[in-house]
Structure 1
Amino acid sequence: VLAVGAAPVVLGAMGFTSAGIAASSIAAKMMSAAAIANGGGVAAGGLVATLQSAGAAGLSLSSNILLGLTGSSIGGWL
């Protein structure tokens, strides 16, 4: 449950916001590196695009379920 609740907060803190990627943020640095690596563009479906989508629209139901299962598995293992 904590992982599901923390994901939007962490994404926002990294600079992946509903208004776009925040200037001078970790997200901006990631986007710059991805653009340089891809010859000037950011690949659709890549890590930066996926994180920005989640930051803008929130996580999908399947992502929430996966995070919840992962968090509870790790919590149970510890």
Structure 2
Amino acid sequence: MGLLTAALVVGGGAAGAVVAAPVVLWVAGFTAAGITVGSYAAGMMSAAAVANGGAVAAGSTVAVLQAAGAAGLSTAATAAVASTGASAAATVAWLAALI
């Protein structure tokens, strides 16, 4: 794989992850209107509330994902998602080159 191809794969992975993150949050049930009834997010919220004595703790995974679903990703979260997407794309490209 050439350098240009590698750059395109990594860049595509980063961009794809940033575009996909809000969609994945919405599909899981973390929406701007709150957590969708009967969704995966509702199950996570229920389990978190039971484990925490009836409330969802501030800063917990459920709280952070709901904040991202409601308000969108922060700059730091966008950078983290892009980095993860780029790393995943680079790993897949590397493994594909081995085959």
**Structure 1 CA distance, aligned partners of 2:35 and 2:41?**
6
Deviation, 1:30, is 0.6
Per-residue displacement from partner, 1:17-58 (whole Å, max 9, x unpaired)? 000001111111110000000000000000000000000000
Give the SS at the match of 1:53: helix
Larger-gyration structure (1/2): 2
Deviation, 1:75, is 1.2
Structure 2: runs of 5 or more not aligned: 1-14, 93-99
Q: Give the structure with the higher percent helix.
A: 2
Aligned position for 2:52: 38
Structure 1: runs of 5 or more not aligned: none
Within the candidate set 58, 74, 79, 1:65 is matched to 79
Give me the identity figure in percent: 58
Give the SS at the match of 1:39: coil
Give the SS at the match of 1:27: helix
Q: TM-score, normalization: structure 2?
A: 0.75
Extract structure 1 runs of 4+ deviating beyond 3 A.
Answer: none
Aligned position for 2:96: none
